[in-house]
Amino acid sequence: MVVAPESNSGTVSMMPRNSSVATPTRTDGPMARAGPAAQPSQDAKARRRARQEPYLEALLRLLSRWPLPVLHALGTLIGWLIAHTPNRQRRNALINIALYRPALGTRAMIRLRNRSLMAFGRTYCEMGWLWLRAPEEVLGLIREVRGGELLRRDHGRGLIVMSPHLGAWELAGLYLAAQGPTTIFYKPQKQLDALIVAARRRSGATLAPITARGIRALVQGLAAGEYAGILPDQEPRAEKGAAFAPLFGLPAWTMVLVNRLARKSGARVIFMFAERLPRGRGYRIHCLPAPAGIDSDDDAIAAAALNVGIERCIDVCPEQYLWPYRRFRRRPEGLPKVYAGGLRDYDAIESARRLSRSAGTGPMAS
């Protein structure tokens, strides 16, 4: 649907004066890489991306002409290859799944990982189709809406809709904007940005950049009784405006923008995602109530409630979650890396089990 807020001054402007959060440690490299020595490398990457962009757009436009079941079959094949070739994405996915369901047996974890990577392939093969087909055609593939009554806006108040990286998140954003005026929190992309912006605006959404200006747009939209769409499950890069809160039993660096928006605007908060149905038959929209405490003035309580809401969404169709994403890159001071070690399945599962036991959430934890 949208890319989650990662670093912006806006979250700082909404920090309570007495707010304090744990100091995070980045475990995947230095906190800051910018500088004179890094500049040529960054410029070279930007030039490479610019050269690649026309070819990527041409590929997306070509794929958008293919039938959706064919795209899903192609994505399944790509995902199968990823699942059966040693690589970091499949290792990271297995670590995350083992943290999510530590009581599963080894074979069950591997089966879920393999199914999720095939769904991962379908997600990216269908992206051009969802972006470039007519909105009426895309929305026409929604076969069912469960919990749609939660999308009702009360007495002119806005509604905050959280959409995790689950199923077809681009369709979830398109569907939300079709229900009424919508502002979506959006991080400008390094490639294909113009195409993505145009695609996400097709059903009337306003895109708010991840800046102080974008946060003001969300506040104004909620005050006018609009929807606000936010993707909540990526790791914020901001040093403020986030807190560590439990996710799958481990502390995850979690955004705290949502509770502040809810308190400021009086808007309710819900979760929504689009489940992909088998064999290209379409999609099912799910709307779930947010857990109690998501609008708390205590950042730790609100962030924990946000992560509980994400877990409840994942429980509906866990094979469709974006498991390769490194959600636990930042760790509280002194805790070990999560995404490390060998690429073998056994190594990944044992690493996750050690982390779960040390956090007191694993099946053998005392």
pLDDT tens-place string over residues 284-328: 999 999 999 999 999 999 999 999 999 999 999 999 999 999 999
Q: What is the distance between the alpha carbons of residues 3 and 233, in angstroms, rounded to a whole number?
A: 9
Distances (CA, A) of 168 to 59, 123, 172, 181, 188: 19, 6, 7, 21, 20
Bridge-based pairing of strands 159-162 and 268-276 is parallel
Q: What is the distance between the alpha carbons of residues 340 and 88, in angstroms, rounded to a whole number?
A: 9
Q: Which pLDDT value is given to residue 219?
A: 95
Residue pLDDT, tens place only, 209-225: 888 899 999 999 999 99
Q: How confident is the model at residue 239 (pLDDT cuts 50, 70, 90)?
A: confident
What pTM does this model have? 0.87
Query: What integer is the mean pLDDT of 47-68?
Result: 94
Query: What integer is the mean pLDDT of 239-246?
Result: 90
Query: What integer is the mean pLDDT of 344-352?
Result: 96
Q: Which element (helix H / strand E) includes 254?
A: strand 250-255
Q: Which pLDDT value is given to residue 13?
A: 38
Q: In the Cβ-directed half-sphere of 268, how many Cα atoms lie within 13 Å?
A: 16
- Picking from 6, 272, 14, 312, the residue whose alpha carbon sits closest to that of residue 159 is 272
Query: What integer is the mean pLDDT of 64-87?
Result: 97
Query: What integer is the mean pLDDT of 109-129?
Result: 97
Q: What is the distance between the alpha carbons of residues 57 and 62, in angstroms, rounded to a whole number?
A: 9
Q: What is the mean pLDDT of the chain?
A: 89
Q: What is the distance between the alpha carbons of residues 23 and 101, in angstroms, rounded to a whole number?
A: 27
Residue 196 clears pLDDT 80, i.e. is over it: yes
Q: What is the distance between the alpha carbons of residues 289 and 230, in angstroms, rounded to a whole number?
A: 15
- Locate 234 and state its tokens: 């990526």
- Picking from 158, 171, 155, the residue whose alpha carbon sits closest to that of residue 218 is 158
